Structure 1
Amino acid sequence: MEIGIAVGDVRGAVDAQGLLDQAKQADAAGIGTVWAAQGVGWDSLVALAAVGLHFPGLRLGAGVVPVPQRHPLVLAGQALSVQAVTGNRLTLGVGAGISALTKRMFGHTHDRPARRMREYLEVLLPLLRGESVDHRGETVTASGRVGVPGAEPPDVLLAALGPVMLRVAGELTSGTVTWMTGVRTLTEHIVPTITTVNPRARVVAGLLTCVTDDETGVRARVAEQFALAGQVPEYRAMLDREGAAHPGDVVVVGDESTVVRHLDRIRDAGVTDFFAVPYGSAGEQLRTLALLAG
């Protein structure tokens, strides 16, 4: 199982130097991959381009870019631009976005997300290969091509939690990215569903991770800080599958031996890539990084 580290504002508000400092810590520790999530702060692809230019040994993962607000021609140009400036080290994770945010923030329709993602990918993937598209479909219209010299098509993953979206991920992409999804759900639902379609699918699992002597306190802080995420229908469904009351129940937390056992269970579930989001005080985050590097 490949272990990567999140950088950027998924770990809290951070300026440009802070972003690079996080990447520098990962690079110095021997962590091979950094991941950037798309929230309401840093643009994940811009952040990864900046990191990639400063740290040529790091692999880069976007986990994930919601697509409703990015036309496939636009996203293809952005992703290929990152490839060109970083020497083709990007894994591009995409997703349908959280329904409530997509509607409220951007005014976009969010019905039939799996159908929309299938059609979006049927346009995006040829564009990433440098092919021309002329598509006038049910949910996407696109005509043109994107050419960035030196850029190769990135590996594409699809954020998927439900069975229909997991089948789309298995059929059209290299795998899936999950967030706030516990070991039981990974073992019994995510991995078997996607590998039935694509036995070689990558499964990237993102979770808050904290090496600490105060496991109870950390779980309580996560439960409070991420309470709203625990009410979002998409994540609530995964927490219910897990038998978890709130996001604090699925965080990877404890002392070194406890966290190692948790990581072993994630690996044994069939996860190929673990996307750790260091959580806690500065000291706890450094302690977490040291364990993950080891």
Structure 2
Amino acid sequence: MAANFWTSSHYKQLFDQEEVDVVHPLDKEKGITLEDFKIIKTQMAIYIGILAQQVKVRQRVVATAVAYMRRVYTRVFFFISKCIFGHPTYLAGSFCHWYNLLGCNASKSMSEYDPRLAAPTCLYLASKAEESTIQARVLSFYIKKLYSDDKYRYEIKEILEMEMKILEALNFYLVVFHPYRSLPQFLQDAGINDINMTQLTWGLVNDTYKMDLILVHPPHIIALACIYIASVYREKDSTAWFEELRVDLNVVKNISMEMLYFYESHRLITEERITAAFNKLKP
């Protein structure tokens, strides 16, 4: 894995929010809206976490799996242009030439890559990437245990076949940096030693994977946003510490607001609304 985030494929693969919020045309044909799209991804992130508890892998594997899953359903055009030209501005002709030459694909639709198979497969792939390998037969066993519908009780063969598709969809870029890496140092530097404060911050970081933040922002900025929310919630004055950091505090605050908005809106989503979104994926 690359040691430096700024030279990694992860950095080059960061998207603008409007690029992430794109529903594939095939999914649109089935009536899937942007809200449906977000609901399904959030539910699959939660499902990955539940499945991970069953197969007993660490949180980092869960985070990497969720990042893979979200990348699969996100367009790749911007990333390719940055890899080839070093910046987001490119000539259409040159881009198309390289796009075809590299065999790169656009985002995958949920209609083609059913998230109920793609999500656990991403967990399987992430377990390899993070050197905490899950046996495919064990994963298949727990998938069947969690799903009562035979249609989604996937066999080993289906997981392995989807693994190759996921790898191709990711263009074999498996490097993911996480907020967990910088969080302990930030907490220490900010003088935050309270166990409740620390646990709250780690919990907030875990929750960021229910959103698309890892596709849009550098992980250390996400970590700072979580510390910011925890500081406000626990009424700890960290203003001076934040002002000393060489980061754009407006970005940190904007991420914090996005997280708070997610908490508020997510609790209003009913089981009926979730079911309605998934029903649109049916053939």
Q: Give the TM interval when normalised to the shorter protein.
A: under 0.3
Comparing both structures, which one devotes a greater share of its residues to helix?
A: 2
Q: Report 1 or 2 for greater relative contact order, CA contacts < 8 Å, sequence distance ≥ 6.
A: 2
Q: TM-score when scaled to structure 1? A: 0.27
Relative to the length of structure 2, the TM-score reads 0.27
Q: Which of the two has higher C-alpha Rg?
A: 2
